[in-house]
Structure 1
């Protein structure tokens, strides 16, 4: 009996980071994946405490038509890896940009930042929270935060808190992912330390990593997507 191996994935499902949205993740990944004739699927956040569960459901739905590449930015990368661990037969690869922690969030900078933002939104309201959060940050980041945070509506604080408290896969769990994985880091990003990305890279059996900088992403968001996709290709995708 002949066994037919599955062909390359036709779709990549990409998830946003904490407090981010589908608009940004699409600006990062759509063109780099399009160059490979892979369609970028970018689910919109479903605000509230069930944010991660909605992303997992979106991955399940997309994989109903066949295996997919999964990935995302920051929290979205965590959830994509979580889904891949539970669905090894439906995930042909991972593209993971800016992982923020592994295992329990603890005092990881991204988790601390998200908890503080959630409390700020609850105590001061979205307008004042945005004024504080965007004070002194680069203009591109202020624009991204303003659009994305307002898009979450009344579910913003719960969404930020849900991301801050959800464990990422542990290093031991990551070591079982025998699929091509591309990891991308920004070497000037204190919220998503490159040391964390390096720990993910070391744990994953078939991974490579490429880097860029936040100041580059600010003028060219695709730079982050190109780094992740190039690392995935070097790791053995799109098999």
Structure 2
């Protein structure tokens, strides 16, 4: 959340993120309602405590695989755009990748009460065929946030997901 605090320059800002980044953005907005002008959220992974959510379990498993067998083995099961994106992102973490996986697997997402407190326009994109980020979570978030608009995508179309979330945010503003 430090990056969000540093981004705020005295006027409300639109913030967002993907997966854990969506969790961080929504929690920051709930804690700083006067600083947030809107939210662009993609693939929220759970609500409240992780409690064995698929994305939390995937983060723990990924940490174990990287620790025991190396980063290339952890990436070996991915293909296409997902392989390219994870390769870029995971290599960027260097030695901090495993600690980030472990932290992510236990980080709380916003609670339903925190989500209900959000009064800013919010665009949410959920993926209808992603077992790690269940569409039910995106729907739950959209139902809880008063000014949310939910749009959906598929894993094949995912590289355009943030654009779809921005479009949903624009519709929520009206």
TM-score bracket, normalised by the shorter chain, equals: over 0.9
Question: Residue 105 of structure 1 corresponds to which residue in structure 2?
Answer: 50
Match of 1:230 in 2: 167
Partner residue of 2:97 out of 136, 139, 156: 156
1:181 pairs with 2:125: no
Moved beyond 3 Å, runs of 4+: none
Deviation of 1:86 after TM superposition, in Å, equals 1.2
Matches within 5 A, 1:1-239: 56-131=1-76, 135=77, 137-217=78-158, 221=159, 223-236=160-173
Q: Secondary structure at the match of 1:184?
A: strand
Structure 1: runs of 5 or more not aligned: 1-55
Whichever structure has more helix as a proportion of its residues is 2
- State which structure, 1 or 2, has the greater radius of gyration over its C-alpha atoms: 1
8 Å CA contact 2:27–2:114 kept in 1: the answer is no
**TM-score, reference length from structure 1:** 0.70
Distance 2:6 2:90 in 1: 26
Deviation track 1:136-177 (CA, whole Å, cap 9, x = no partner) reads: x33221111122111111111001111111000101111011
Structure-1 separation of matches of 2:122 and 2:106: 25
- The CA deviation string for residues 15-68 of structure 1, in whole angstroms up to 9 with x for no partner, is xxxxxxxxxxxxxxxxxxxxxxxxxxxxxxxxxxxxxxxxx1111111124221
* Cα distance between partner residues in 1 of 2:173 and 2:72: 45
Partner SS for 2:6:
helix
**Matches of 1:153 and 1:138, distance apart in 2:** 21
TM-score scaled to structure 2, two decimals?
0.95
1:129–1:212 CA distance, 2 compared to 1 (3 A): closer
